[in-house]
Structure 1
């Protein structure tokens, strides 16, 4: 399931069970991760450019806020035209699991569902957990629901 918030942040999680033929070594196919993809912005001499990591298209506008709005509008335009504006995502997610891609975050899918339910899909809370998950992944550590609960107990 994909969801966009008003700022153009994309969350992608899978809720279906996998068929028995799913390769055991493929974390994307296994649907072990939920992903978040944040738009990227670059200030240029002409204004601002905005894009999603791994996409082959971008938008430009005089301000970062206008670029964000145009990015969301472009996704909607492409969708309404019958295109899949997120066709590039799976390749970006696979790359991200091998080496960090700026603007892409991954966390354990069970943890994502738990935090989303517990916080009422609070985007700031989810972002904090995505960032902690990424920090731990970079260190070669896991960040499961049990790890999260222990982390929260230490924070409080």
Structure 2
């Protein structure tokens, strides 16, 4: 019996439990994952930033401050004993549920060209953002 695309995605998702599993998957599929945070302005003028599938977020007075705080919080959490990796959860959801906002699966040739270009514009074009 052939698996339907969603079933195939679910099978892949069930095999992902760690960063090492993501790395194995990237090698097997010849892809790279790109994760972009969501950053949005709230009605009160503050900004909130969150990584895909993260169960935490940060606030800032502007989008740049929110992004900086998000990066700092991620580094702090990585050092914590109870660190849970939002990237693992984001990739699991990507395969189990379909596209997840902020999670992009790029062919390695495309990822290499983005790295070579070294610009935000190249990354935006690769993930299909204006």
TM-score, structure 1 length as denominator? 0.55
Map Cα deviations across residues 9-56 of structure 1 (whole Å, 9 max, x no partner): xxxxxxxxxxxxxxxx74954322211111112222441111101000
Deviation at 1:100, TM superposition (A): 1.7
User: Conserved in 1, the CA contact under 8 Å of 2:39 and 2:48?
Assistant: yes
- Runs (5+) with no aligned partner, structure 1: 1-24, 133-156
Q: How many residues align?
A: 105
Q: Which runs of 4+ in 1 moved over 6 A?
A: none
TM-score, structure 2 length as denominator? 0.64
Deviation at 1:82, TM superposition (A): 4.9
Q: In structure 2, what is the equivalent of residue 30 of structure 1?
A: 25
More helix, by proportion: 2
Name the CA shift for 1:106/1:61 in 2 (closer, same or farther; >3 Å).
same
- One of 106, 117, 126 as aligned partner of 2:123: 126
Which one has more relative contact order, counting CA pairs under 8 Å at least 6 apart? 2
- Runs (5+) with no aligned partner, structure 2: 1-10, 14-21
